[in-house]
Amino acid sequence: MRKIIGIVGGMGTYAGIDLLRKIADNTGALMDQEHLPVAMLSLPEKIADRSEYFFGEVEENPGNTIAEIVMDLNKLGACIFGIPCNTAHVPEILQPVLDVIKDGCTLVNMIREVAGYISGGYPDVKNVGIIGTNGVFKSRVYDHYFTDTGLNTLYPDEDVQHNMVHPAIYDREYGIKAKSGPASERARVDLLTVVRMLIGEGAQAIVLGCTEIPLAIKEKAIEYVPIIDANNVLAKAIVREAKAEAKAKG
């Protein structure tokens, strides 16, 4: 029996659903039985907003709830875990999760995988634009992993982040969290504008550093600059780990 993949959903809900689809898309299965075993728990009402926690607007560390969900998934047999939320990888949020990962199990780190994906797949790229939540913007969670692989990060300026990027994700009238299927045209236009701003500032690749942004921006490249979907990179890495584990078992 292959190890079950465990997905912590609900951050946002459509991001979890999107990750499930991308795992299936990247598996290369030709029949039902070749698809990978996956379990997802989506408990959005239990997980505090990650950016709000980072800014001290809520007291409860969402990492504690994510850790509880990981343990519940483990009881179902899951042993390869993925969290489709960039902000959840901020160290103080992620640490409670790391603390409950059992020996022999794996948490696939989205941010580390994106760094490796760019440095390995785009060796000529050095300057990478990051578009994400205010938590990703403020924490610079990508910087540690990117510096280790020789990559530089570029972010929108603070006014653009707070007046265009954040509302495109969170606004209750047109933000992606409110309108995910499909995303609103205003959210898409604003995010594309920011992408082009970063390209104009020298970005050689753009990371969609919020797992909901790919619901609005589906382009693989803009002005010949590659657009990196962090959720898709996570899916590829999860499939890789699952297949490697199955191969090791023979």
Q: Identify the DSSP state of 183.
A: B
Structure tokens at 202: 């020298």
For the record, the structure tokens of 166 come out as 């954040």
- 102/120 Cα distance (integer angstroms): 29
135 vs 3 pLDDT, higher one: 135
Helix H or strand E encompassing 106 = strand 106-108
Other Cβ atoms closer than 10 A to 30: 8
Please report the pLDDT score of residue 1 as a whole number.
58
Amino acid 196: pLDDT: 98
* Count of other CB atoms within 10 angstroms of residue 98: 13
Maximum CA extent, the chain: 54
How far is residue 93's CA from residue 108's CA, in Å, rounded to a whole number? 15
The Cα 192–Cα 176 span in angstroms is 14
Is 242 or 3 the better-scoring residue by pLDDT? 242
CB contact set of 205 (below 8 Å; sequence gap of 6+): 118, 122, 125, 127, 128, 129, 225, 226, 227, 228
Unique residue bearing structure tokens 């205010």? 134
Q: Say if residue 156 is preceded by a cis peptide, omega within 30 of 0.
A: no
Q: State pLDDT tens for residues 40-61.
A: 999 999 999 999 999 999 999 9
pLDDT for 144 equals 87
Helix (H) or strand (E) holding 228: strand 225-229
How many angstroms separate the CA atoms of 111 and 109, rounded?
A: 6
Alpha carbon 139 to chain centroid, angstroms: 15
What are the pLDDT digits (tens) for 198-208?
Answer: 999 999 999 99
**Domains of the chain in sequence order:** 4-109+232-249 (3.40.50.1860), 111-230 (3.40.50.1860)
Please report the pLDDT score of residue 85 as a whole number: 97
Pairing of strands 78-82, 4-9: parallel
What pLDDT does residue 62 have?
97
Q: What is the predicted pLDDT for the residue at 137? A: 96
Nearest to 147 by CA among 103, 94, 110, 111: 111
pLDDT at 250: 56
pTM reported for the whole predicted model? 0.95
Percentage of the chain lying above the pLDDT 70 cut: 98
